Chain A
């Protein structure tokens, strides 16, 4: 595997389900990110981790819960989501969280029914 990988690529879940998104980076980077991108909307930064420590989170509802067990892996735990949470969820990594170029995974297309 190379670059940034994300699983699953597609996910359909009901509003009462609990699921997790997984991201893995193979670039030796120290920072990882979660973004949300709704249809035809700009990127929304959700969470930033540097060396497994959360350094920024931007007013994200508590139904989204991130976890970073090590610098190569990042999870986004989802529970009791709403239909408006349907979007493309993108993971990215960079060498440093302070302004380094970011490399994105392919994304998880989430549909909440």
Chain B
């Protein structure tokens, strides 16, 4: 059973702080990793993907991947109230559709 684990939260951070969202996965052969943002009542939106160990930066977002530890994270710098949403981690195990985590709810307090 391929699993993707996320802390459900809520994770509360003050405006301007760094929000750190974490995800672990069970299938060591997983090849690529994605972060989706889902606002309440809306559909998930792809915001980041990462394939290689290390960091990948896109604006205020940084995805971090450590395949040895089977761990992927998303950092949001200078958090804004508009970043308040549920963040879904998704993993590509290679021969199946993406496996989604249950999501972490982020609340940015003004």
Partner-A contacts on B (CB < 8 A): 31-32, 34, 41-46, 49, 88, 90, 92-98, 100-103
Contact = CB atoms under 8 A, between A and B. Distances in A.
Contacts of A42: 100-103
Contact of B94 (A48, A99, A101, A104): A99
Given A99-B31, A106-B42, A48 B88 contact: no
A101 B44 CA distance: 12
B92 A99 contact: yes
Given A42-B100, A43-B88, A43-B100, A98 B43 contact: no
A56 interface: yes
Interface in A59-113: 88, 90, 94, 97-107, 109
A31 to B, nearest CB: 8
Contacts of A102: 46, 90, 97-98
Interface of A: 31, 33, 42-43, 45, 48, 56, 88, 90, 94, 97-107, 109
A57 B45 CA distance: 23
Contact of A99 (B43, B46, B95, B100): B95
A103 B96 CA distance: 16
A98 B2 CA distance: 14
Given A43-B88, A100-B92, A101-B49, A33 B43 contact: no
Contacts of A109: 41
